[in-house]
A and B are shown apart, each in its own frame.
Chain A
Amino acid sequence: MTGLGRRLLLLIPTVLGVLTLVFFLVHLIPGDPVELMLGETASRADLGQLRADLGLDRPLSEQYARFLGGLVRGDLGRSFYYRKPVLAVIGGALPATALLAAAAMAVAVLVALPLGILAAIRRDRLPDRLALFGSLVGVSMPNFWLGPMLIILFSFRLGWLPVSGREGAASLVLPALTLGTALSAILVRMTRASMLDVLGEDYLRTARAKGVRPVTVIARHALRNALLPVVTIIGLQFGALLSGAVITENVFAWPGVGTLLIQAITARDYPLVQGCVLVIALCYVVVNFLTDSLYALIDPRVRT
């Protein structure tokens, strides 16, 4: 079996572990979905009947077995709150989150790579200092603060961009900036450090000595080697990006999976919570898997 195939198989227990943990966590936290659904006027009999209909009166182990059974058949159950299949509810929210995450990733990479490279080749000079300082600031700003600040500046004072919502490309700018800033700050440092490592290598000295133009040295010889750890970090940070999306979506009224997840937890909508977590966990492991696979593209030595 190839390395990649083995890794692909390993994803299954990872996702299953996450789901098991979440299943028991959401069922064990206080709060009763049935009471939240039926409201205060419901009688004990009504509450009991709905509990039975939803299978919530069964032992937790049985509920868990049923949940796994459904999962195998691709059935995540019905949302208590929306009274619709979980997959349909999540399917409606997923594209928005995917778009936001992709845009944030694009912002992060487009800002961080040039800055990191610039900082490395102008080491200890003004661009480097500025990049390092900027990255410190960027990584220190929490999303729930940065979001409103960007709104106040760009939407409120300057009036360039919409405050929130999802109408056209313009409304994507601020959420993507908010979500991408922290990742970008980390990537700047990573790119810089990685470039510095590579810039000291003998083969670069050789390349320069034989008269290769500096730009080509950086772009063709150095960058490709320096990118490997950067790609790893991008993959690893994808999880942080998804959790950041929960907050960013709230600030910008962005109708994605994060918004849905918060709502589902508040309503104790167990199937929907599990569905959202499944989707988020899947995204995370798949992105990490793809990151691993990307190594092979960037660095032929990794190919097995």
Chain B
Amino acid sequence: MRLPRLLLLSVAVCTLLGAACSGDKPADPGTLVVGLEANPTNLDPRLATGAAAVRILPLLFNSLLRLDPAGEPTPELALSWETPSPTTYVFHLRRGVRFHDGRELTSADVRYSYDWMREPGNHSPNQGALAVVAAIETPDAQTVRFVLKEPFASFLQNLTLGIVPAHRGEAQDFVDAPVGSGPFRWGEWRPGERLVLLAFDDAWEGRPHLDRVVFRIVANETTRLLETRRGRIDLLWNNIPPYAAPFLREAPQLAVTTRPGITYQYLGFNLQDATLKEPLVRRAIAHAVDRDRIIKALFLGLARPAATLLAPENWAHAGEVASYPHDPALARRLLDQAGYPVRPDGSRFALSYKTSTDRQGIEMADLVSEDLAAVGIRVERRSFEWGTFYGDIKAGNFQLYSLRWVGITDPDTLHYIFHSASVPPAGANRGRYANAEVDRLLDASRSESDPVARRAQLIAAQRLIAADCVYVSLWYPDDIFALARRFEGFEPYPGGQYTSLKQVRAAR
């Protein structure tokens, strides 16, 4: 009788497993589930790196200032501020702000948080950005004074870092259950699986409408999209590929919204490369790329062509810069002129093009390669796992690469990318671009206190950078987010932050 028993057992187990399978539970109106593509590894705002963590932090922590959806610094913990001199910033704190443990937030907490990040031994990723700070003083419990080593026009952008309580900050387990003053408090954390945040009843902005926000980590793109379409994820933001928008639109419970984004995609040149240091070659490449075709094919039209790093929404956006419309005939002429005639094998020269293993990046590289092949440039596409790719481009070990800048609202980023002193590790001038006039304009813009003059300097710099064709500016992909129709009030932030979850409520 052994054999049938074994068979029976198999059948029984399978049936049991099947019976245990419930359908989906009815949705709780106070709980919103967010689908994340990566694990937020460290949610201590002093130490956090990585997009996943940085986007969640504004829900747990407050900062002196916050960036509004347009990327402008606005008051948060600081009710007001003044700059008595170009190197002194005085902030007056909001009264009655409480941490999640009930203690009141004072200037001592602000100073503690910033001093901690400035201390080299603590290895905060924000230490470099705060190097300009000479001292932080707290004349009283509601006042914080930052003294800078030199004038720095973009300093306010650095004041969006989360404030931690001084009385908790040194605890070894702080990172396991961070305490802040944000609209949500720590609930439960299962690394690699889910993070649960709970409404903070005593939030100074008022209790959020949602009771719970659950961040589910679903690394696999297909799985994440299926979960959303199925209704088990209420919000997808930052991680919807354009091809998936129509698929999600078919779900009756989802509202899929697209709007112009400010993420900037580009092709980077190595300006120390023997071939690419020739501006004619760079311009030829820029004219060879058919942006409209790629936007249509890869983004289903959900992107705007770009001509400069700063999107049109930015106050320092340069409207009239050299753009390089698709013109293969002109590209061929420029290459002839640069001394790269067509060789007997049909090509002029070969370039290597590095990209990460990101699927969209690879597809993009293939489309760009087709365009370049059409004018006689043979492209060898090489995709690398992120750490290797990133190491290579920082070291200047590339000819051509493509990448994106996400959420750039601070025009001082131009200094970081295009100033000759910003060669890695000092900054992100990976192509080793050097133009004395650009350097001068960007340096001047840092200490310029008059916004109109500063804007003129930044625009002049962008024009020179575009004329030198340091990057091929490609496009700004649209922001796409999907929100369950049972909720309303979500607003996308340019850096991808989930900040607006504090105002999301059940749809009426």
Contact = CB atoms under 8 A, between A and B. Distances in A.
Closest 9 CB pairs of A and B: A31-B387, A219-B2, A255-B192, A41-B128, A255-B193, A169-B20, A170-B21, A253-B218, A39-B125
A148 B222 CA distance: 7
Contacts of B427: 40-41
B125 A215 contact: no
A215 B425 contact: no
B424 A253 contact: no
A169 B17 contact: yes
B508 interface: no
B190 A36 contact: no
B234 to A, nearest CB: 14
A70 interface: no
B3 A165 contact: no
A93 B391 contact: no
Contact of A36 (B47, B390, B425): B390
27 contacts: A38-B125, A38-B127, A39-B49, A41-B125, A43-B128, A44-B425, A49-B121, A82-B41, A82-B42, A106-B13, A113-B6, A114-B7, A147-B223, A161-B21, A163-B230, A164-B227, A165-B216, A168-B22, A170-B17, A215-B3, A219-B1, A219-B6, A223-B2, A253-B219, A253-B224, A260-B192, A262-B219
Contact of A40 (B2, B20, B191, B424): B424
A37 B49 contact: yes
B24 interface: yes
B394 interface: yes
Contact of A42 (B17, B127, B175, B193): B127
A28 to B, nearest CB: 12
Nearest to B44: A83
Given A30-B388, A32-B391, A168-B22, A42 B220 contact: no
Dominant secondary structure of chain A at its interface with chain B: helix
Interface stretch (A10-18, A123-131, A150-158, A237-245): A150-158
B385 interface: yes
A117 B3 contact: yes
A250 interface: yes
Given A42-B128, A215-B2, A164 B218 contact: yes
A250 B220 contact: yes
A219 B9 CA distance: 15
Question: Which of B127, B388, B390 has the largest number of chain A CB atoms within 10 A?
Answer: B127
Interface string B388-425: 10111010000000000000000000001000000011
Contact of B131 (A39, A43, A262): A43
A29 B427 CA distance: 24
A30 B387 contact: yes
A253 B216 contact: yes
Interface in A53-99: 53, 81-84, 89, 92-93
B121 to A, nearest CB: 8
Contacts of B20: 168-170, 173
Interface residues of B, number: 64
B296 interface: no
A189 to B, nearest CB: 18
B230 A156 contact: yes
Interface in B212-241: 216-220, 222-224, 226-227, 229-230, 232
Given A41-B129, A41-B416, 8 more contacts: A37-B123, A41-B128, A43-B127, A110-B10, A114-B6, A173-B21, A219-B2, A251-B222
A27 to B, nearest CB: 13
B428 interface: yes
B192 A163 contact: no
Contacts of A256: 192
A73 B131 CA distance: 40
A171 to B, nearest CB: 9
B4 A215 contact: yes
Interface of A: 29-32, 35-47, 49-50, 53, 81-84, 89, 92-93, 106, 110-111, 113-114, 117, 147-148, 151-152, 155-156, 159-166, 168-170, 172-173, 215-216, 218-220, 223, 250-253, 255-256, 259-260, 262-263, 265-268
B3 A219 contact: yes
A168 B21 CA distance: 9
Nearest to A81: B41
Contacts, number: 194
B243 interface: no
B39 interface: yes
Given A39-B125, A253-B193, A266-B387, A163 B3 contact: no
A251 B1 CA distance: 40
A37 B50 CA distance: 9
A36 B7 CA distance: 53
Contacts of B3: 114, 117, 215, 218-219, 223
Contacts of B217: 253, 255
Contacts of B424: 40
A260 B386 CA distance: 16
Contact of B192 (A93, A111, A170, A219): A93
Contact of A268 (B1, B216, B224, B387): B387
B232 A46 contact: no
B23 interface: yes
A29 B389 CA distance: 11
B84 interface: no
Interface string B5-16: 011011001100
Contact of B123 (A50, A114, A173): A50
B223 A46 contact: no
B18 interface: yes
B26 to A, nearest CB: 14
Contacts of A218: 2-3
Contact of A173 (B6, B17, B175, B387): B17
Given A49-B120, A93-B192, A110-B10, A216 B386 contact: no
A83 to B, nearest CB: 6
Contacts of A106: 13
A262 B127 CA distance: 28
A31 B388 contact: yes
Contact of B223 (A35, A45, A148): A148
Nearest to B394: A35
Given A117-B3, A173-B21, A111 B426 contact: no
Given A37-B49, A159-B23, A263-B39, A31 B123 contact: no
B296 to A, nearest CB: 27
